[in-house]
Structure 1
Amino acid sequence: MNGYARPGISQPSWLLPFVVTVVLFLCVLPLGRLAQVGIAALSRDGAYSLLTDPSLWQAAWYTISTAVLGTIASVILGSIFAFLLTLADMRGKGMLSFLFVLPMMIPPQVTALAWVQMSGPSSPLLKALHLAPPLGSPQPLYSAGGIALLYGVQHAPLVYLALRAGLMALPREGVEAARLSGASGSMVFRDIILPLSMPGIIAGAAIAFVSSTGNFGIPAILGIPAGIYTLPTLIFTKFAAFSSRTFGDVALISAIIAMIAVAGLAIQERALKGRDYRVIGLTGASAVLTLGRLRLPAEIFLWAILFVMLVAPFLALLAGALVPAFGVPLTLRTMSFHAFEEILFRQPITRTAFSNSLFLSVTTAVCLIFVTVLAAYLITLRKNVVARLIAGLIEIPYSLPGIVIAVSFILVFAAPIPLLNLTLYGTIWLILLAYLSSFFAVSLKPVVSAFQQLDPALEEAARLSGAGFLRRLCDILVPLIAPAAGASVILVFLIACNELTISALLWSAGTQTLGVVIYNLDDSGSSDLASAMSVLVVVMVVFMMVLLELLAKRLPRGVVPWRN
């Protein structure tokens, strides 16, 4: 077992080819195929009719405008929570942070459905409270503004996490020196904290913008009924009206989405130029602003925001699941658990969706952890151009909208695999491959963090003692990174179990996932069943997040995103 390691390097000779092959198959091949089909479509006459279609540019306008407005809302919400929970002497920071991050883990179509149930003239909750607008009043969320508002709610935690990471590194000496010089809290915030926080705000805004451009669940629930299409929902309608031009059209539309996302990231890079602030000295939680008499009003303000963002929509969703039809007020006479009974015991499609989502989530998480342990070991050990290139290629699918990844895999596997004559299109295995590509980076980051904290002397001592790579991996490395690996599995499971954007294009009869079934139930008018299923999904998400919280004490810093 010692003979297959290169001299002077503690990794086996097969490790680099194996990791490179996996990265090429999952990350490079699909996107390369998308680029090939897009270029071929541009060279044909069909591209002209698509690019001159007003509906394409209207969808592009709605995509950009709702993403920009949603990003602004995300930055405002995320910054408020990040500054107050990281720097101020607030009480209950852990619970506030946990609840604020929760919307990020909830499927976007569930968020949209909950807000629809909470507002408008047909809301069961508002009817029960006698607060519903008059019948015939428009549903305010069925608009571009409604889509942008829910983008803000869904992606505000991304801004919060990006900004909080920077705030945790603020220099204590700078803040304390300003205080000793007589600067007020507002002056310290304006002249020291805010300038140093701009990189985190800009990074969070860029992530929120890219996430908004690829979001399918929210514009599908809120936009399609109002005739408002974004580029992801336009792709969905192209596949629904399949023709000989469909693949070329969706490749071009996907390329436009990717270009919008890349443009957002390029603007981020330009905005960050000249803002590379280096902090010297002690950093962290001691840089706290004392609110004094403003603390209680600030706490009430944060809890009020969480009530509107999270509690009220969930109560409306629960009310929608307990009434026989959307628009019926919730009373003791109308309340029924029929929808939950139907979902859990009578509807075969919901049982299929639960089993499919659990299978895909567990398989994705388990398969990725085996690959990411090897990839993280390679990246951490080599620290050269090859390692940086591998890490960058793994990041690309996760940074692109899910709709682009789905189209890429459709283009690769639409035809039978050569030589094998095996068709993956329309099977659950194609969804699994797309999940593996999209969530590779999610699985990798916690494991890389764990490897970076290990003392290389431990493995080196075992190698000098004659232990081969697999023995070192099993007896030394894996036990030490096990908490981070467990967190990686839970994070991937959480994200994959609630995914809709990828599976919305890849599902077929028998391969529906939870996100697809919730969307289809709501689209068919079965809002009570869609609400009941959404309530169960939210409960499952909270359970998995609590489990991750219980593991947090054994994990490296930053693995559990909402912990202070």
Structure 2
Amino acid sequence: MVALTDRDRQGADPLRRRNRFGRPVGGGVGGGIGGRVGRGWPILLGLLVVLPVLRLLWEAGDPAILTRALAAPATWRAAGNSVAIAAGATLVAALLGGPFALLIGLTGLRGRTAMSFALILPLMIPPQIVAMAWTHLAGSGSPLLAPLGLAPRVGTPNPVQSAAGMVLVMGIEHAPLVFLALRAALRAVPGAMMEAARASGAGPWLAVRQVLLPLCLPGFIAGLAMAFVAALGNFGVPALLGVPAGIPTLPTLIYRRLAGFGPSALPEVAVLAALVGVIACLGIVAQTLLQARIGARLPGGARPLAPLPLGRARRPVEALAWTVLLLVVAAPLAALLATSLVRVYGLPLGAGTLTLGHYAEVLALDQVGRAFANSVLLSGTAAVALGLLAVPLAHAMARPGGAGRVARAIGVLVELPHAVPGVVLGIGCILLFLKPLPGLGLSLYGTLWIILAAYLARFLPLALRPVQAACAALDPTLEEAARATGAGAIRRLLTVVAPLVAPAAAAGGLLVFLTAFNELTVSILLWSQGRETLGVVVYALEEGGSPTLAAALGVVAILVVLAAMLAAGALGRRLPPGVVPWRG
């Protein structure tokens, strides 16, 4: 122990410890100017993230424009379709995601990681590619159903290009949200609760029904809320399945108004986007309240649930589960692959019709090359930037005291651009960046940087959540030891925290890359000539009457997604369960 001199005793601040060299310990973010800066930068970050949403609300608040937009019959027709289809898709998501969460979370089913991967795959694939795959599967020229005599007759409407088809496809796409929410609730249930129920004489399945499911109900409903909001803002599925059937939704109505009238339609379009946001916020509020109930009722941290035995039913249950996944995931993707390989659309796939020419042709297109370069640049930049930004923000959120409370409040705020539908953020970015930036004279409108700004705002929560989990699991004595040697806040962050949470930051960055690489809803509103993204080009090829080329490009995009998912899965072995969604 080092004894204090008289000078140290007289001049020492009792609220500030000093190290052996006489330097104050705990400076930087903890107090003084450093403390104000530490509390100030998260506030600045939160304001920058929500500025597009605030600009949209300002524009939509004009009474004359608000009255005109809300008085139009087309607005309420599209709003009614959006709510009805989103509600139907949420029901399908519950019927698919709920049982899989119970099977994978409660039983000793074999291949649970592979099942989780297959179930989550439709969420990672862009919605326009999912819709395109189902169109090729169910159409009269289906390469899978036509040889079996199960395809619709030539000239008849495609059955998935309907309200029911949109409900089915969006339900399958968003079933992973219900699955993940319910599985997280199951993990939070202490195993002792089930053991107590069993000790009182209840059988395993009676204990599940009467004890476990009521506790997990808030998590299940929170998953339904997330699925509803995601379906409400979905653009790719309604654009490819609803527009040909004459079924408008709010996202497609916004796109058609903006594409037809340009910036002059922005005031009215802002009202439509705000309407989407208001409906979505009702679901967000419900989700937040229910998640708070989960945290209060299911503390977690105890011994997990023991897997329930399936006995003789194990093999039939496994066979049924894999059959469902083959039908809803593998079959449409196989149809997409077959369409990309057939020489002429509509012909059956065989030795005489097999070709790789569509891949060579589509990859040789100038716009495809530009789109790949733009998408890699945008998604890669967003992944790296947000992965780096997430580390200090998550570390600040894990701190006790006032600075930590401010950072946690900002963490809730930055969820808003990701929670609301993409059309809300897209229109907000157009309104915010249409004119040159004050003081700089630079305009982001019509450039790649407006898309990057939207990506940074929208996908920050994806990068932040894994790092939050990693920071919460850190042993606080590690930082205390560095603090005792005189290391300031920044040095502790760089030398202690950052190396330990680097795998989580990398996993978060990969999730950002996965989501942004094929993103469509925001990009379709912000792209300009020569600045296409991959999602925009896939949509344009399908809409332009080139199904085989669009299918080939879609397959390439899926391969990129699979490679990124496998890389994230490899990182997930070093991370806590749940950081990579399909592991653990």
Per the shorter chain, which TM-score range? over 0.9
Cα gap change, 1:269 to 1:486, in 2 (>3 Å):
closer
Aligned to 1:362: 380
Give the Å deviation of 1:273: 9.1
Aligned to 1:297: 316
Quick check: 1:104 aligned with 2:123? yes
Which is worse superposed, 265-274 or 111-120? 265-274
Aligned to 1:135: 154
Distance between the aligned counterparts of 2:293 and 2:263, measured in 1?
49
Of 21, 28, 36, the match for 1:5: 28
Correspondences of 1:225-304 after superposition (within 5 Å): 225-242=244-261, 245-268=264-287, 276-278=296-298, 282-286=302-306, 288-304=307-323
Aligned to 2:399: 381
CA deviations over 1:469-521 (Å, ceiling 9, x no partner)? 33322221111111111111111111111211000100011111111110000
Correspondences of 1:436-447 after superposition (within 5 Å): 436-447=456-467
Q: Normalising by structure 2, what TM-score? A: 0.91
What code does the residue aligned with 1:187 have?
Answer: L
Cα gap change, 1:21 to 1:278, in 2 (>3 Å):
closer
CA deviations over 1:5-56 (Å, ceiling 9, x no partner)? 26658966533323322221122x211111110112xx22x43332121111
What code does the residue aligned with 2:491 have?
Answer: R
Q: Secondary structure at the match of 2:573?
A: helix
Aligned to 1:555: 575
Distance between the aligned counterparts of 2:239 and 2:507, measured in 1?
31
Correspondences of 1:28-67 after superposition (within 5 Å): 29-40=51-62, 43-44=63-64, 46-67=65-86
Give the Å deviation of 1:290: 1.8
Give the Å deviation of 1:422: 1.4
What code does the residue aligned with 2:106 have?
Answer: L
What code does the residue aligned with 2:70 have?
Answer: L
Of 334, 341, 349, the match for 1:322: 341
Contact 2:228-2:283 at 8 Å conserved across structures? yes
Which is worse superposed, 125-134 or 333-342? 125-134
Which is worse superposed, 208-217 or 469-478? 469-478
Of 164, 170, 187, the match for 2:183: 164
Of 85, 94, 104, the match for 1:75: 94
Contact 2:218-2:293 at 8 Å conserved across structures? no
Give the alignment's Cα RMSD to 1 decimal: 2.2
Contact 2:371-2:534 at 8 Å conserved across structures? yes
Cα gap change, 1:252 to 1:8, in 2 (>3 Å):
closer
Which is worse superposed, 191-200 or 110-119? 191-200
Cα gap change, 1:54 to 1:8, in 2 (>3 Å):
closer
Aligned to 1:450: 470
Aligned to 1:125: 144
Aligned to 2:44: 21
Q: Secondary structure at the match of 2:582?
A: coil
Distance between the aligned counterparts of 1:390 and 1:31, measured in 2?
15
Cα gap change, 1:107 to 1:460, in 2 (>3 Å):
same
Contact 2:43-2:407 at 8 Å conserved across structures? no
Distance between the aligned counterparts of 2:583 and 2:46, measured in 1?
31
Q: Secondary structure at the match of 1:225?
A: coil
Contact 1:82-1:164 at 8 Å conserved across structures? yes
Distance between the aligned counterparts of 2:573 and 2:292, measured in 1?
36
Cα gap change, 1:122 to 1:237, in 2 (>3 Å):
same
Quick check: 1:347 aligned with 2:365? yes
Cα gap change, 1:271 to 1:471, in 2 (>3 Å):
closer
Q: Secondary structure at the match of 1:554?
A: coil
Structure 2, unpaired ranges of 5+ = 1-22
Which is worse superposed, 546-555 or 216-225? 546-555
Cα gap change, 1:236 to 1:454, in 2 (>3 Å):
same
Aligned to 1:202: 221
CA deviations over 1:208-235 (Å, ceiling 9, x no partner)? 0010111101101101111111101110
Quick check: 1:371 aligned with 2:394? no
Give percent identity, aligned residues only: 43
Which is worse superposed, 165-174 or 539-548? 165-174
Distance between the aligned counterparts of 1:281 and 1:244, measured in 2?
53
Q: Normalising by structure 1, what TM-score? A: 0.94
Q: Secondary structure at the match of 1:421?
A: coil
The structure with the larger Rg is 2
Contact 2:89-2:171 at 8 Å conserved across structures? yes
Which is worse superposed, 301-310 or 4-13? 4-13
CA deviations over 1:294-320 (Å, ceiling 9, x no partner)? 211111111011101111111100111
Give the Å deviation of 1:381: 1.3
Quick check: 1:540 aligned with 2:563? no
Cα gap change, 1:128 to 1:469, in 2 (>3 Å):
same
Contact 1:125-1:316 at 8 Å conserved across structures? yes
Contact 1:94-1:563 at 8 Å conserved across structures? yes
Cα gap change, 1:161 to 1:76, in 2 (>3 Å):
same
Q: Secondary structure at the match of 2:117?
A: helix
Contact 2:194-2:305 at 8 Å conserved across structures? no
Of 329, 349, 353, the match for 1:334: 353
Contact 1:415-1:423 at 8 Å conserved across structures? yes
Contact 1:325-1:527 at 8 Å conserved across structures? no
What code does the residue aligned with 1:67 have?
Answer: A
Which is worse superposed, 150-159 or 320-329? 320-329
Aligned to 1:219: 238
Distance between the aligned counterparts of 1:494 and 1:409, measured in 2?
22
CA deviations over 1:361-399 (Å, ceiling 9, x no partner)? 110011112222121122211454422321111111111
Cα gap change, 1:494 to 1:273, in 2 (>3 Å):
closer
Correspondences of 1:393-542 after superposition (within 5 Å): 393-542=413-562
Contact 1:10-1:469 at 8 Å conserved across structures? no
What code does the residue aligned with 1:241 have?
Answer: G
